[in-house]
Amino acid sequence: MPQDYVIDIDKGWKQILKDALKMKSVQLKVGLFGEGNSPQNNLAYRGVVHEFGIPEGIRITPKMRGFLHFIGIHVSPNTQRIYIPERPFMREAYDGNKSELERAVDKWYTDLIEGRITLKVFLDKIGILHTDHIKKAIQSGSFKPLHPVTILRKGSSKPLIDQGEMIGSVKHKVEGII
C-alpha cells in the first residue's frame, strides 16, 4: 500500500542552510586597524602609506623643514618634496600565499559543511593564517631600501620594522557573527 507522507531525516542540511544565510552578513577583516588620518596615532593609516607609498611626494613646508632640522635631518634648500616608495607587504602576503590560502579554505570549508567546525572557527582559521602571511611579508619582504637618513634615525636598514609596533598590530576580526 502506498504511503501518503514523507519522512524527513535531516543529516545536517538545515544547519548548512542556517550557516550559509549567516555568511551573508559576516565579514572577515585582516590587517591593521585604526581610526583617523594621523599617521602618528593610526597604524592602519601608516600601513596604507607603506603599502602604496606617496609617489606624488609630501611638500616640505618651512615649518616641516625647521622641525626636520631640529631633529637632525638637514634637508637641502633645493629639496621641495619627500617621496615615500611603496612597500606592498599586504599585496605581497596575499599574492605570495594565494594558493596555500585557497587550499586551506577548501579544506576548512569541507570541515564547516560536514559540521566539524563552526562558521566562527572557519573564519578565525583563515584570519590567523593570513595574519601570519602578512607578518612574514613584513619580516622578509623584498622592499625598496630605506633612505640613508631614515637608516641613521632608526638604527636599522630593515623597512617596515622599527620597534615591532606595526607587525605586532596585524590582526584579524570576524564581524557579524550572531
CA 162 → CA 3, 49, 154, distances in Å? 74, 15, 7
Q: Return d(Cα 153, Cα 150) in angstroms, integer.
A: 5
pTM: 0.79
Q: Return d(Cα 86, Cα 142) in angstroms, integer.
A: 11
CA 91 → CA 38, 100, 160, distances in Å? 23, 15, 14
**What local confidence, expressed as pLDDT, does residue 130 receive?**
97
Residue 47, φ and ψ in degrees, nearest 5: -60, -40
- Model pLDDT for residues 61-104, shown as the tens digit of each residue: 999 999 988 988 888 899 999 888 999 999 999 999 999 999 99
